[in-house]
Amino acid sequence: MTALRFVRSVWESFRATSGLEPRLLNNLQVTAARPGIVNFELDVQKEHTNRLNILHGGTIASMVDLGGSLAVASRGLFATGVSTDLSVTYLNSGGKIGDKILAEVTCDKFGKTLAYTNIKFTNPGGDIVARGSHTKFVALAWKDPQNIVEQLKELKELNEQNEQKS
């Protein structure tokens, strides 16, 4: 299974079982994934905005949380752990209804106990809107029978070897 297909299956699990994500982020689309990196986008709708009719900071914080989970999933964990720390820095308006926000999230350190992720949000023009970090406690997630950690690790190593040959 590819990282993209696996990450999308984890996202579908969130949508099917969580209370928050399907209500707030239902139209979020995972656009790319490879081991350790996930890209997604969100079309800003009314439910994502504050009373100024611009993207709500809480929506961005929720995407930092979800993005960290999806980055962990890109390393092969189906159960993506629980948050221990989450930080968001808001740099520019995230846009208004009808705009699109793009995200790239990386899993920078992936251990047996903790995973550390970083995320950058941009508008389609490339301007940075916000950035965040998310630390996940993953020790119990390693026990999930749906994990594909070894398969994605092998894929990552193969991709790195191919890049070195190029």
**Owning domain of residue 58:** 3-164
pLDDT in tens, 100-123: 999 999 999 999 999 999 999 999
Reported as a pLDDT band with limits 50, 70 and 90, residue 156 is confident
In eight-state DSSP terms, residue 19 is S
Q: Which residue bears the tokens 């350790």? A: 36
Between the CA of residue 106 and those of 11, 52, 112, 115, 117, what are the distances in Å? 16, 31, 17, 10, 5
| Structure tokens given for 127 | 């301007």
Rounded Cα distance between 8 and 48, Å, is 22
**Shortest CA distance to 107 belongs to which of 79, 74, 80?**
74
- Pick the range with the lowest mean pLDDT from 26-40, 97-111, 149-163: 149-163
pLDDT, mean of residues 4-13: 97
% residues pLDDT > 70 (the chain): 99
Reported as a pLDDT band with limits 50, 70 and 90, residue 63 is very high
Based on the structure, what is the number of domains in the chain?
1
Question: For the chain, what is the mean pLDDT?
Answer: 94
Q: Give me the helices (H) in 3-148, please.
A: 3-17, 21-24, 57-73
Phi, psi dihedrals of residue 52, rounded to the nearest 5°: -90, 5
| Structure tokens given for 62 | 């929720």
pLDDT in tens, 119-145: 999 999 999 999 999 999 999 999 999
pLDDT in tens, 36-57: 999 999 999 999 999 999 999 9
CATH of the domain at 113: 3.10.129.10
The pTM score is: 0.92
